[in-house]
């Protein structure tokens, strides 16, 4: 997947998590999204 497209998907996921979730669930979801985005963008797994 193109890096720019993945970053846009990650931003949309962050926005949705920010608006729809609350409390510790929001924190965990945001952290997971950022960790997955960093792994994909920086190519740690490739």
pLDDT at residue 40, as a whole number: 82
pLDDT at residue 10, as a whole number: 87
CB 30 within 8 A of CB 18: yes
| Whole-prediction pTM | 0.75
Q: Is the pLDDT of residue 46 over 70?
A: no
Give the confidence band of 27 by pLDDT, cuts at 50, 70, 90. Answer: very high
Which pair of tokens denotes residue 27? 């924190």
Q: Is the pLDDT of residue 1 over 60?
A: no
More confident residue, 40 or 1: 40
- Percent pLDDT > 70 in the chain is 93
């Amino acid at each position: 997947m193109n890096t720019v497209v993945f970053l846009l998907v990650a931003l949309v996921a962050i926005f949705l998590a920010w608006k729809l979730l609350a409390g510790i669930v929001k924190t965990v979801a945001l952290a997971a999204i950022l960790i997955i985005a960093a792994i994909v963008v920086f190519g740690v797994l490739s």
